[in-house]
Chains A and B, each alone.
Chain A
């Protein structure tokens, strides 16, 4: 028996059987299975991709959110700062104004007081002058009751005038 010699009958049957198996499996077997598995793999890959995109979007959103929060916080701080500054400024301004006003009032008051005072002094002086004149009149009237005295006085006055 020669093992290396292919038997014609077996060749014949093997060709037929293998051809039938091949055609049946190639038509109804393997492509269906591989096709479905490939479809499934594609879907899995697509799902993974979609999940990745969603994850990215979420990460992006979180980032955005953080950014907005920090921005808001910054602007809030800025606003607060500005408000505080404004407030301080307003207070300072008000204080300045008040001080000025007070100064002005006081200055006015002082001026008026001065004026009043001066007026009063003037009045007092006038009054004093009047009184002095009146007193002087009375004194002079009493002293000039004699002619000698009147003459002495006129002389004295004339001297004074001529001396000038």
Chain B
């Protein structure tokens, strides 16, 4: 109870100080909540950390673009910030390509070059990947150095990793795919689980190197879902394909009109599609909720210190609640994605 009181007081103090600064900062300008929200949820070429006395503090990231007219270009994101133009490239201000690198072709039309820039999300992906590799290989090193058979479980991070790996391995993968085949798929599914879980967790951390909306980006979840799609369909056994192409239903349902086959094919595609959208929507919505709550502080700044202060306090309460919820969601979504992938794979390996 004492801790709760301390947290309460800290939140009250934060609320009042934030109110003061918010009131100062927003005297003359309207807060563009939508822009701020989508700016955070979406991708960007630089990693914006904070604004410090009117200046953007941004980590510059390399932009790599290939233009049909002028070939490859590599430059830092600072070159094209704030409407600057560099080697013919600039950020579109509105329209289809809003906030993306574009160039003008000969007829003056805006065209999008082939863009494989290291954006904020790509950088975050790299950080996640390195962190994950470090964590898992660091844990694996313990097993190389020690005789796990004689010495028992490791302690510290390796112990934590072992616990989680074995939980996913035994309770999810082995339970869903079955004793016979699960070894072949376990590395992929474990990678998926930890990749999503770590990305989700890093996404909750509000400052560098976290805060990027990686798993709440449809491109990322699409790659993961496609991997599961291939894992399911490339290694599906005869029985699985028979169920899809020639299911045990009355003949008129599959010949001459392939009604069942169409439905099965639809199911084939909708499974990874649901995986993709579920993860993307959950994480994106979580980010949007927290950012929206934070935005309340700045939106109510104009309404006077009393309303702003009380709203800030409520916002902080909800924010803490949402962050706790997001921690839960971070785990649940990784768990669900892995579990459904395992179940789909298990179905494709089912024997009579």
Contact = CB atoms under 8 A, between A and B. Distances in A.
Interface of A: 1, 3-15, 17-18, 20-22, 24-26, 28-34, 36-37, 39-40, 43
Interface stretch (B6-14, B213-221, B253-261, B307-315): B213-221
Interface residues of B, number: 50
A4 B218 contact: yes
- Chain A contact residues, majority secondary structure: helix
B99 A26 contact: no
Contact of A7 (B149, B161, B162, B219): B219
A34 B122 contact: no
Given A1-B98, A9-B115, A33-B143, A18 B195 contact: yes
A14 B128 CA distance: 11
17 contacts: A1-B38, A3-B38, A3-B218, A7-B115, A7-B219, A10-B121, A13-B118, A14-B220, A14-B223, A25-B132, A25-B187, A25-B194, A30-B136, A30-B140, A31-B187, A36-B143, A37-B148
Give the top 9 A-B pairs by smallest Cβ distance, nearest first. A26-B187, A6-B219, A29-B136, A10-B219, A36-B148, A36-B143, A13-B122, A14-B223, A32-B140
A7 to B, nearest CB: 5
B20 interface: no
A29 B169 CA distance: 13
A30 B119 contact: no
Given A17-B129, A25-B136, A29-B137, A7 B191 contact: no
A28 B141 CA distance: 9
A25 B116 CA distance: 25
Contacts of B264: none
Given A10-B121, A14-B219, 8 more contacts: A3-B42, A6-B217, A7-B43, A10-B43, A13-B125, A29-B137, A29-B140, A32-B140
A1 B122 CA distance: 18
Contacts of A29: 133, 136-137, 139-140, 187
Contact of A3 (B114, B191, B284): B284
B126 interface: yes
Given A30-B187, A30-B191, A11 B133 contact: no
B209 to A, nearest CB: 15
A8 B195 contact: no
A22 B218 contact: no
A84 B25 CA distance: 117
Contacts of B125: 13-14, 17
For A32, A33, A36, A43, which residue has the most chain B Cβ atoms within 10 angstroms? A33
Contact of A6 (B42, B148, B187, B218): B218
B195 A10 contact: no
Given A11-B222, A13-B118, A30 B186 contact: yes
A26 B166 contact: no
Interface string B164-196: 011001000000000000000011101100110
